[in-house]
Amino acid sequence: MDKKQRIIITMLELVVKQGVHATPMSQVAKEANVAVGTIYHYFETKNQIIEELYLMIAQDYGVVLMANIPEDNFKEQYKAMWLNLYNYFVGNPLAFLFMEYVAVPPLISKNIVSQSVPYIANIRDFFLKGIKEQHIKNVPVRLVLQMAYGDVVSAVRLKVKDELEMNKEHIDFAFQMSWDSLKIKA
């Protein structure tokens, strides 16, 4: 792994464990086996590393979310996306914790957040289609996006914080609840 990668990943690990401001550059340097000066060869500032991490992860799950979606059946498509995100977060707890605890304003500027918007444009389109075709409730799409994302996050939280076992059955419960909140009453 090249030094730039090592620096980024080390920063991610430390920042999630300790918080941004409790993580001095000197420590990042030491744990990445690199001199402090080297970090500044690859990055302008400490905050730029954080921003690069944010964009890396945001792009990451914009892609992950859309992988292996079935051809049709809206509910099954939603389920696939839901599980994609759940599994990504559970498999990458550092990414999850970073997004939850580190990537908050004013550390991450609105400007940086907006750079990651393209990644979710197609998710938005997916829900718009679901509304038009009357698979899900006719409510503002922004509300749907926020609730759906919130549901995944809730499930991941339980798992990551070790507050609930989250076996196959429990994951399914969580998904069922999420789907019930979206779907049009029968």
Residue 124 binding: pick among DNA, a second copy, none (C-beta 5-8 Å cut-off by kind): none
Q: Which of 113, 133, 138, 135 is nearest to 58 (CA)?
A: 113
Residue 52 to residue 141: CA distance in whole angstroms: 29
Q: Are 103 and 51 in contact (CB under 8 A)?
A: no
Residue 112 to residue 137: CA distance in whole angstroms: 31
The answer to whether residue 109 forms part of the interface with a second copy (CB under 8 A) is no
Choices 32-40, 74-82, 88-96, 164-172; region in contact with DNA by CB under 7 A: 32-40
Q: Which residues share a beta bridge with 136?
A: 183
Q: Are 50 and 15 in contact (CB under 8 A)?
A: yes
Per the structure block, which two tokens stand in for 145? 């996006």
The answer to whether residue 75 forms part of the interface with a second copy (CB under 8 A) is no
Residue 36 to residue 42: CA distance in whole angstroms: 11
Which parts of 34-73 interact with DNA (CB under 7 A)? 34-38, 40-42, 45-47
Which parts of 1-20 interact with DNA (CB under 7 A)? 2-3
Q: Which of 113, 103, 106, 112 is nearest to 15 (CA)?
A: 103
The answer to whether residue 107 forms part of the interface with a second copy (CB under 8 A) is yes
Which parts of 15-74 interact with a second copy (CB under 8 A)? 17-22
Q: Which of 85, 44, 49 is nearest to 66 (CA)?
A: 85
19: part of which helix (H) or strand (E)? none
CB of 128 to a second copy, least distance (A): 15
Identify which of residues 34 and 79 has a Cβ nearer to a second copy in the complex. 79
CB of 60 to a second copy, least distance (A): 21
CB of 20 to a second copy, least distance (A): 8
The answer to whether residue 121 forms part of the interface with a second copy (CB under 8 A) is no
The answer to whether residue 167 forms part of the interface with a second copy (CB under 8 A) is no
Residues of the shown chain interacting with a second copy in the complex, contacts defined by CB under 8 A: 17-22, 100-101, 104-107, 137, 139-140, 142-143, 146-147, 149-151, 153-155, 157-158, 163-164, 170, 173-174, 176-178, 180-183, 185
